[in-house]
A and B are shown apart, each in its own frame.
Chain A
Amino acid sequence: MGILDVRNCTKRFGGLVAVKALNMCLNQGDLYGLIGPNGAGKTTVFNLITGVYKTDEGSIELDGRTIHRSKPSSIARLGISRTFQNIRLFRSMTVLENVKVARHMRKKQGIVDAIVRTRHLKTEEDEIERDAMNLLKIFNLDARADELAFNLPYGSQRRLEIARALATSPKVLLLDEPAAGMNPHESLELMRLIRSIRDEFHITILLVEHNMKVVMGVCEKIQVIDYGETIALGTPKEIQGNPKVIEAYLGGA
């Protein structure tokens, strides 16, 4: 049994079966790639795991706890965090505030603390600020901490989303095409960073990526899906030679 266990999950949108009886198992510390052609259902899998969509069938467990009936915020509390394929930063907040929001749930401050501004609140606010700044440093965003997130360049916004996701202290981090829109050099850089984050924070990472090369370079285990079904599972080497995978990518394109 792994840390994240997706069992026989199915999701339908009207007549369309976006995810079909899918199984997926991540072990602690995995850097796991989920790939597939456009519309394969990768993002839908993320949405099922994080509770944004409810599964029609099947179950999802985190560390042995059933989570597929919980709401997204509870799942986040239990230790799953994510980024979004089409960036969803808090547009009216600064870079720093974006990270702070995510840090909030790991702290305990009562509403009375907030209204009367107790000392307890102040020390916690300082902690939150410090943690957030540390994360921004890792992603090289600390210099722009007070700018509006909305004004950052695209690549920085993607990195800020990862920083924000990390701020919730997750056990499992889901990244949906974090390198989208980056050039090969930037992607490579980002993948190195992702790997080092995994090692430093001792977390498990599930990565969706369109670019085969990028995934092959960074992930240790890869699952390929097409039309919501698994068509291959294995190491990058095994995947590379798999005729079904080649077929799906060429046929789907």
Chain B
Amino acid sequence: METFLQQVINGISQGSAYALIALGYTMVYGVLRLINFAHGDVYMFGAFMGYYLANIPWIKSGVGTSAAGAVFVMLGAMVLSAGLGILIERFAYRPGRGPTRFTLAFWLGLLGAGGGQMAGQTFTSVVLGAFAGIAAGVVLELLGIRPVRQESRLALLIIAIGVSLFLENGGQQAFGADPKFFPQIIPTTSFKVGPLDLDSQRVIVLLVSLVLMVVLNIIVNYTKTGKAMRAVSFNLDAAKLMGINTDRIIAFTFALGSALAAAGGILVSLLYPRIDPLMGVMPGLKAFVAAVLGGIGNIPGAMIGGLIIGMAEVMAVGYGQSTYRDAIAFVILVLILLLRPAGIMGKGMIEKV
């Protein structure tokens, strides 16, 4: 019984991390009907940002001893990741919805930098390549090369896969492919509650997740932007007609989702401090499974889905089936979807014919 309760606690903290990532998936799906495969990599990015922030010299002394240090690392990583989310939305997804500028310059700039690296492998060649790319992009745009309006969601999905590959492989270049160890940004203390062993990490993970979810609920349900978000989720075109700046709302949704993913990244890194550029792949997938499980587009659904997956995994590992760990989320998914094709909280809609 004790071990069972212990497992429940572990499952909830693992699950709340999945839930935080799942929320971003679900929100983005809500507004764009897009599986943002790059979301798991934003989670990785968040963890790395936390890592670098905690290693800034004048921060380092405060980290691990003061709450302010931990809060700074957390919020800083969330803000930076929100920025990344906005950037992804702006340059990868928005061009398919309508006219945007500098898209070509942005990507050709990156490609130029990459080409420069491959050709010369010096700083100058990278910078030269980047400038050449940007210049080419600007010129081509002036010549009238414009993004194509995306009619099919498939192309957008492939873009998401492309962005994900970019972040994973780019991450290996920028952060190094070897694992790093996330610093202890909060002091570790263990204590007993009744028969249960708890430690400060687990408690913090739980509390912070809880707070973030409450904050998210307040934003979505009680603020003007949140209401606009829900309007966009319900019907993008109608929301636009009603005068909502849908692009801004979508960008905001990405920012919010990415910030939550970053928070998830840091919280998980508190429990499992090994971080590497591919760390987002599996949790990203499982969080997506959690979102689908709960009924994609549904915010409480994502939280429930995350908890179910986290709990199931921890239970399975705890009861000696650890080699099957990565398959458990999917088995649950298949079983639940066969029973409820729209997910646990999703509403089955009859298509109007």
Query: Does B350 make an interface contact (CB < 8 A)?
Result: yes
A84 at the B interface (CB under 8 A): yes
Does B353 touch A at the CB level, under 8 Å? yes
A150 at the interface (CB under 8 A from B): no
Contact residues of B: prevailing secondary structure: loop
For the complex, give the distance between the alpha carbons of A47 and B350 in Å.
12
Closest to A86 in B: B353
CB contacts under 8 Å to B, within A42-78, are 43, 47, 52-53
Distance between B155 CB and nearest chain A CB, rounded to angstroms: 16
A84 touches B353 (CB 8 A): yes
* Residues of B close to A53: CB separation below 8 A: 350, 353
A84-B350 Cα distance, complex, nearest whole Å: 16
Whole-angstrom CA separation of A53 from B350 in the bound complex: 8
B342 CB → nearest A CB, Å:
15
B residues 297-353 in Cβ contact with A at 8 Å? 350, 353
Within 8 Å CB of A43, what residues of B?
353
List A contacts of B353 (CB < 8 A).
43, 47, 52-53, 84
State A13–B350 Cα separation when bound (angstroms). 9
Interface string of A174-198 (1 = CB under 8 A from B): 0000000000000000000000000
Q: Across the interface, which residues of B come within 8 angstroms of A52, CB to CB?
A: 353
CB distance from A92 to the nearest CB of B (A): 12
A242 to B73, CA, bound (A): 77
Q: Which residue of B lies closest to A43 (CB)?
A: B353
Q: Please encode chain A, from 29 to 53, with 1 for each CB lying within 8 Å of some chain B CB and 0 for all others.
A: 0000000000000010001000011
A151 to chain B minimum Cβ distance, whole angstroms, is 16
Q: In the complex, what distance in Å separates the CA atom of A7 from the CA atom of B165?
A: 58
Q: Which residues of A contact B350 (CB under 8 A)?
A: 13, 53
> Once bound together, how far apart are the Cα atoms of A52 and B353, in whole Å?
8
Q: List the B side residues contacting A13 at CB < 8 Å.
A: 350
Q: List 7 A-B contacts (CB under 8 A).
A: A13-B350, A43-B353, A47-B353, A52-B353, A53-B350, A53-B353, A84-B353
Measured CB to CB, the residues of A under 8 A from B are: 13, 43, 47, 52-53, 84
Closest 5 A/B residue pairs (Cβ): A52-B353, A47-B353, A53-B350, A84-B353, A13-B350
